[in-house]
Chain A
Amino acid sequence: MNQEARAEKAVGAQSTAARAVRFVQHLFVRLGVLPFLLILALVVFTALSGNFLTTDNLVNVVRQSVYLTIVALGQMLALLTGGFDLSVGTIVALTSVVGATAMAAVSTASPDSVWLAITLGCLAGIAGGTLVGVTNGIGVAVFNVSPFMMTLGIASVGFGIALYMTSGMPVYGMPSQFGQVFGFGRFVGIPVPVFGAVIIVALTWVLVNRTALGRYFYAVGGNIKAAHLSGISTGRTLFLTYTLCGFLSSVCGMLLTARLETGEANIGHSLPLESIAACVIGGVSLRGGVGRVGNVVLGALFIGLVQNGMNLARIESYLQTVVLGVLLILAVIADQLRLRMIASMRD
């Protein structure tokens, strides 16, 4: 009797430790690496710099992360369908150049109608960027070009066009109100770009979780043959994926143009890597079919946080890209580890 009780107690103690381990494992499997990375980043950067954990700085992080967040959402759509979009940076640059050029032209033609110039400029920029997405969509959906080749090729084409249009020079001549409102403006104390991002996050969430099209992104990425047999037009879904990704990137492009107050062909180089990193760190599977909007937003914020923290800690910008690359690879390794744990839990 006594022996049994002791044995039971031993088992109990053992199971408490085991339960803690299992709880962490469970968290990891459910949430991915992101919460662990976030905690690590907060601890490290708070220790490195006293200015890090202040309200001002954190608002700053959110404002700086807006651009990456929007592009990462577009990237997420491409990843969900089992592809990716390497041309997001080019789309941002091309949007900036086209939008700024159009805005400056209208502004010169009729200097009084400022808001007409801003509206037409934004529309032109977004239309130009979305057109690049449409091209990607046609290549992937109609001609069956692999997303890797298609978007890589288009990235080169778009970048070339943007440089050709501007000869590599910044585009000036936009009405100053554009930058004042969309770049630096505040509404009820919150930066306007943050509002834009919140609206886009909400719309993307609804699209992905509350419409048939959103469900089809997951289905096509999860098993394209099964999706086809379930009566889903896989071509249409893929086309819309890259079109929407182009649209979201071009919205980011206009917001960034407002912030810079010039049209630039040389922006967005790091966006393909950073947006894929934000998605993967946020638990989006590179094999398609898995990913959540909320986690991608957190992934983008995490990257913003790390960049901000490194700036405050005075880490050289060249080294920052090293850190980013390492984080991306770590996130992929963690994803593999997670899959293996899921598999072993299933048995």
Chain B
Amino acid sequence: MSQSTGSEVEAVPPGDTARQTTPLVVCRGIVKQYPGVTALDGVDFELRAGEVHVLFGENGAGKSTLISLLAGAQAPTAGEILVRGQPVQLHSVHRARGLGISAVFQDFSLVPQLTVEQNLLLGAEPRRHGFLDRQAMRREAQAILDRLGFAIRPTEIVQHLSRAERQMVEIAKAFRTEPSVLVLDEPTASLTERETEQLFALIHRATARGVGVVYITHRISEIRRIGDRVTVLRDGHVVATVDGKSTSEDRLVELMTGRVIQDIYPAVAHQPKDVVLKVERLTSSSGSVEDASLEVRAGEIVGIAGLVGSGKSEVGRMCFGLEPVASGHVWLHGQEVTGLAPSALLSRGFFYLPPDRREEGLILMRSCRENMALTSLREAPLRRGVFLNVASERSLVQNLTARINLQPARPERDVGSFSGGNQQKVMLAKSLARPVKLFVFDEPTVGVDVGTRVAIYRFIGELCDNGAAVLLISSDLPEVLHLSHRLYVMYRGRIRAQFSGADITEQNVLRHFFEREGASSMEEASA
């Protein structure tokens, strides 16, 4: 396949029902500039009544910016937005709601201490004689939930709900006002298969009523399931708008990344040696992992694939002593290390890269230098007696800055002032500041652009070539498929399958991602 360039328009089929009326929403020449960054550069977008229009693209391509403009959270720098043919100024979320545009964002807009019904009717509480009408509130909330088929009690406190349930409340909140345009930002990211099915049924019912849905997802299987049209964004431009059902996966990925897939993943030789990490029948106290056994050898990359909530992340966290272990064992180089603290594991050559760099990975208001050196302050050469050896810290950091290609190469600046990709690089650099034999990477490329992604894959490949053992935990399926020499698939806290070499294919892996009933429909979809 050739490198695709510029914007191209492929055959755009009309919506199923061939409504030739005015589109619900039209964006023309939308430009959104932040100081120093152009997030959107002349984007045209159209949403018809009764269609599901998928926005597809890398992180940072401009999807989130576009929907925040549609939802009225931000104003465009240039260009116009038409709703039902009328030019409008969406200067606030309230205004957008008034025009029938409702958005469900990823970061929750719920008040955790309030109940489900209080949240659902927040800002629109039914009143009688100036006081809250609690019965009417209960009735309305129950009606919304019933209509959507969500089995959530309206009196439940939101912070006691699971992530998926909170997501459902969030969706219910968007449906409260009977919107004509619904914006959904990765709504299935934390839903189970069954809940996802419910949501899809809901979307179908909504579109049948003529609601237009803007849908952001990274999952190609979902595009197959519900996407009528797909608009692919890259670097703030619309690359193409294509048919959701007939466009091949390779084509979509190529449009999204602007390059052919083979470029992204380095070929890493598989030279397994001694077992470095051995996990035996590990069960977590929270029940998120049951009876998981796996091993990782020096000189190989072992992947763990699975949905969000399958327990794959918790396996890594338990190994690194971050989550309580109920039973089972973890061995490092033949020594039992079950339940040891991170400091003890680090000194044994075990490095863990957390999935959320802002939450757990970095100290954002401190310099890159301090962050990089943090894991190795207690050892030579950074330690000299009771003091820090500031000179050798400087030279170490200078060295690391060059090795990870930090952009801009100014390690004295706060980490928080760097882009997501560079922050990720700083986290990786922490692992290079000390001798490490086992790397556990949990979502190492979350929220980074393709360029950095390629750099990170190279980095992981080099670690393995140099004889380190690598455990790669990732929700990004292509990533684990291409990089892993061996791959475990987790489902509902259990390791369900293991593949190696040529058996690591999307078909094989996806078969174990979902429940049996779901698996067959998945296969159909990806066939």
Interface residues in A189-236 (C-beta closer than 8 Å to B):
206, 210-212, 215-216, 218-219, 222-223, 225-233
Q: Mark B341-354, 1 if CB is under 8 A from A, else 0.
A: 11101110000101
The reply to whether the CB of A4 lies closer than 8 angstroms to some CB of chain B is no
Report A121-156 CB contacts with B as 1/0, cut-off 8 Å. Answer: 000000000000000000000000000000000000
Shortest Cβ distance from residue B354 to the other chain A in the assembled complex, whole angstroms: 6
| Contact present for A222 and B388 (CB under 8 Å) | no
- CB-CB under 8 A from A226, the residues of chain B are 354, 360-363
Contact of B365 among A206, A229, A232, A290 (CB under 8 A): A290
B363 touches A227 (CB 8 A): yes
Give the one of A216, A225, A344 with max B CB within 10 A.
A225
Is the CB–CB distance between A231 and B343 below 8 Å?
Answer: yes
**Chain A residues, Cβ within 8 Å of B374:** 215, 219, 227, 230, 232
24 residue pairs of the A-B complex, CB under 8 angstroms, read A206-B387, A210-B387, A211-B387, A212-B377, A212-B378, A212-B388, A215-B388, A218-B370, A219-B363, A219-B366, A219-B370, A223-B364, A226-B354, A226-B360, A226-B363, A229-B320, A230-B346, A231-B342, A231-B343, A233-B341, A289-B363, A289-B366, A290-B365, A347-B37
A231 and B346 alpha carbons, distance in the complex (Å)? 6
The docked-state distance in angstroms from the alpha carbon of A210 to that of B384 is 10
Residues of A whose CB lies within 8 Å of any CB of B are 206, 210-212, 215-216, 218-219, 222-223, 225-233, 285, 289-290, 344, 346-347
Of A210, A285, A346, the residue contacting B388 (CB under 8 A) is: A210
Q: Whole-angstrom distance from the CB of A216 to the nearest CB of chain B?
A: 8
B contact face: mostly helix, strand, loop, or mixed: mixed
Taking CB atoms, residues of chain B closer than 8 Å to A225 are: 354, 359-360
Q: How many B residues, CB 8 Å from partner? A: 36
Residues of B near A346 (CB, < 8 A) are 416-417
B376 nearest CB across to chain A (Å) = 9
| A228, A230, A290, A346: most-surrounded residue (chain B CB, <10 A) | A230
* Extra 16 A-B pairs, beta carbons < 8 Å, given A215-B373, A218-B363, A231-B347: A210-B388, A210-B390, A211-B386, A212-B383, A212-B388, A215-B388, A218-B370, A225-B354, A226-B362, A229-B320, A229-B342, A229-B354, A230-B346, A232-B374, A289-B365, A347-B36
The answer to whether B363 touches A223, judged by C-beta atoms less than 8 angstroms apart, is yes
Give the residues from 367 to 393 in chain B that come closer than 8 angstroms, CB to CB, to chain A. 370, 373-375, 377-378, 383, 386-388, 390
Q: Which of B36, B320, B347, B374 has the largest number of chain A CB atoms within 10 A?
A: B374
Binary interface profile of B, 321-358, with partner A (CB < 8 Å = 1, else 0)? Answer: 01000000000000000000111011100001010000
Instruction: Say if the beta carbon of B229 comes within 8 Å of chain A.
Output: no
Residues of A within 8 A of B378 (CB): 212
- B417 nearest CB neighbor, chain A only: A346
Chain B residues lying within 8 Å of A216, measured Cβ to Cβ, are: 377
Interface pair A229/B383, CB less than 8 Å apart: no
Q: Does B234 contact A (CB under 8 A)?
A: no
A23 to B373, CA, bound (A): 32
Chain B, residues 126-145, CB within 8 Å of chain A (1/0): the string is: 00000000000000000000
Q: In the assembled complex, how far is the CB of residue B220 from the closest CB belonging to chain A, in whole angstroms?
A: 33
How distant is the Cα of A228 from the Cα of B359 in the complex, in angstroms?
12
Q: How far is the CB of A195 from chain B (nearest CB, A)?
A: 24
